[in-house]
Structure 1
Amino acid sequence: MKKLALLATALAMMSGSASAADMAVKALKAPPAPAFDPWDIAFGAAIMNDYVFRGITQSNHKPSVAAYFEPRFNVNKDLQFYIGVAGESISFPNRAAAEIDVYGGIRPTFGAFAFDIGVWGYLYPGGTCQFGGTGFDASGRFQGAECAANALANGNTMKKDVSFFEVYGKMNYTVNDNWTFGVTEFYTPSFLNSGAWGNYASVTGKYTAPSTVFGSSGVGMYVSGEFGRQWFGTTDSFYGTAAFPNGIKYADYNTWNIGVGFTYKVFTLDLRYSDTDLSKGNCNAFTGDFTAGGTTSVTPINPTGLGSKWCGATGIAKLSVDLTAMTNLK
């Protein structure tokens, strides 16, 4: 009898163990993989004390606000198509008060290399024709009543419509979680609708500090910089001078910036120093700065001697918020 009882107990234990094993297998089944959603939207806004583009202020060294909206389509994790629209407040000599950007392109990734290739359109609505104090160009041709009626007090000039587009390519190489380096290339057949082709190339670098640098606060930090060179062709006759009635060749120049940024969730505070080697005279010829003054900054393309501070050293503080629908709005 004892042997029968022990055998029954052993069979019961084996049966219980098998049931437990079956239950464990069922509990460890992996949940179904979430469906891949290729669509996403990035959007954000910013406020800055100065809107600087390639070393030159676009807002007369005054505060500027910006915003963007960018739908994206991810073919897979290594290939993305995108279009976007953005806007910044500006202060141009032709009285245009806003820059509207319309752009689109493709972002393929190959291992540590990330590329960005596309077309960027810069639109400046609301401009008025500005042509010195007379409305006549260097060859004596009358540029129209609107140009004369809206003449700048310092005699500088700018077309009513300075909208233009660029084709661009960017490449970033990620060394590790901390270091990223890149190169950029932009080309336009008519920079600011001046008739002068423009080519901009730069090298960039960024160091992202370890996430533990500020403990568990969630605050991140990076240091980044860029060195670039802008080349130009010759403008059309609207910007001509007595010495160059058919147009002037804008001066090529170097520009550079370096700064530190702090991130917290979707917010970024970027503090940056920016400068160029463009002289005050050549800066005036390029920008048509309505605040330019003096008579000593004479260059071959700037015979009036007006000098502009729009291309000099400046500090930029920018607070921005950046979100994506798939990450922040789930």
Structure 2
Amino acid sequence: MSLVQYSDSESDSDTQLPPPPPAKRIRPNAQRPSNQGSSLPPLPTTFYDLYATSTRVSIQDDPSLHGGRKRVIPHVEGNWPTHLYLEWFPSKSELGVLENLIQKSESKLGDRPRVIHSLLRSDLGAQLPLHISLSRPVVLRTQQRQSFIDAYQIAVRDSNVPPFDIMPGNLHWVSNYEKTRWFLVLRAQKPANDGLNRLLKLSNRSLASFNQPPLYEKANQNSFGQQKQTNEANEDYSHCFHISIAWSLTEPSTNDNERLASIELQGLEGLRVRFDCVKAKIGNNICSIPLPSGIVEQKGIGGL
């Protein structure tokens, strides 16, 4: 769930539109048109990429606008927050199971009062997609955006990582790197083709070539001060991958995690989450890169 965005200083146009025509009055006994029997096709998954960011409402970082959260990456002109991830849009039945887990988790937080914020829906009640991260929140410069996405598309295509299924594991609390927020997560069990580790490695390598830090892996610097990944080709980070379903500003205690482990994960038995593409979000633009090959869907200016 993205942070509240910040408004532009000026509107796009000062042109005034003509007033809309007056609405037609409906007589009390008039019969309204019926939509019964109409069947609308489901929205394509790429539709959600167009509206992945909420409306900007402030030009300042105001934590009160988004539950006390603070920007991890300060807004700087010419910097583009970037995130690589796998996206899951739960079905209605899956959403109900996840909401039930959040309620149970809140009841296991002991005596200390705290607030848990769901990541399943927006403030207006609209369903939000969930994800497994393949990168930290990093920053690209304006001139790096297109060259990075071009290189990343090639890396994913040449990786030969086919689509794969993930089975969710146990519940746990994890923090962000800054330890300013704690997330209620479902651990992701290791897929049969080790797709998560393979995609993580190529994502870290792609970002390292743009001097960006890795996710989970350790990094060092060469003599030019550029980021390089350490030689951990056989390292298994399966225990790190997770799907966040809620968050809190209060750090959970050891007892909180022990109580969390006692929750029965009813409804998750046999659940498999299918991933068939990687998503790269740069600013407000999202590029969907299919696994292992196919047409890359691009949006925005310059292929973004």
**Greater RCO (Cα-Cα under 8 Å, separation 6 or more):** 2
Q: Report the TM-score range of the alignment, normalised by the length of the smaller protein.
A: under 0.3
Q: TM (normalized to structure 1)?
A: 0.23
**Normalized per residue, which structure has more strand?**
1
The TM-score, its normalising length taken from structure 2, stands at 0.25
* Structure possessing the higher radius of gyration over alpha carbons: 1
